[in-house]
Structure 1
């Protein structure tokens, strides 16, 4: 028996991603150890983390959910819109919380350290965002 196909990407999917992304981003924005790690990271480590966030997100959206086909989704510059949204939510939720909580000033971090801390937090935020998008 064939299961019905999931509906295409909708605004409610973005809302689900946002809830999941913020849920797991919060604790990492206010954790001093994350900011210490960010202060000592090299550029190659930051780039590797950005790649890891992308791999986790893509895997959670498309490899873990066989019913979802990236080829069948709307694209922006050849990239599935759902995946782009997930990346914006994963990094954006961490960045927004960092600014709202005044974490960069609290941890005496400049722009470079702040960007690296956002990348660290995005590893966890993407898990929450992708899970919420896939489950609900």
Structure 2
């Protein structure tokens, strides 16, 4: 009898490919940075929660072969899910830094203001990145 798929480092590699693939276009889109400037902290928190909900749903609700109760856990959360969330936010953050997006799209802001808007823009991009990461993890 074959058990449920086990989480492996290769799964994270697949998530990274999918996460970066869908994160790229949103990091370099001025509208995302403008939208992030208009968001409040409540919007940012709600967006981060949405990323987690989408990721969890894509991993465990859309795929009958996965059971979060049988996977390795860290602080009570499935390792695969934690990897997915880290990849979703991390891929957007890395691309934003590599492309110099905060300085390009937020030249009038400095310090803490720029950081806050950048974090909100990362949240927006992570919505799309998590879809790519979860899809790549499920398909490959």
TM-score (norm 2): 0.93
TM-score (norm 1): 0.96
Secondary structure of the 2:5 match is coil
Answering whether residue 81 of structure 2 is matched by residue 64 of structure 1, we say: no
Match for 1:7 among 5, 8, 12? 5
Structure 1: segments with no counterpart, 5+ residues:
none
Residue 28 of structure 1 corresponds to: 26
Q: Which runs of 4+ in 1 moved over 6 A?
A: none
Structure 2: segments with no counterpart, 5+ residues:
none
Residue 117 of structure 2 corresponds to: 113
How much does 1:6 deviate? 4.1
My pick for the range that moved more, 6-15 or 81-90, is: 6-15
Distance 1:7 1:29 in 2: 32
Residue 40 of structure 1 corresponds to: 38
Q: Could you list the per-position Cα deviations for residues 23-66 of structure 1 after superposition, in whole angstroms to 9, with x for gaps in the alignment?
A: 00000000000000000101111111001000000000000001
Residue 86 of structure 1 corresponds to: 84
How much does 1:5 deviate? 3.6
Q: How many residues end up aligned between the 2 structures?
A: 134
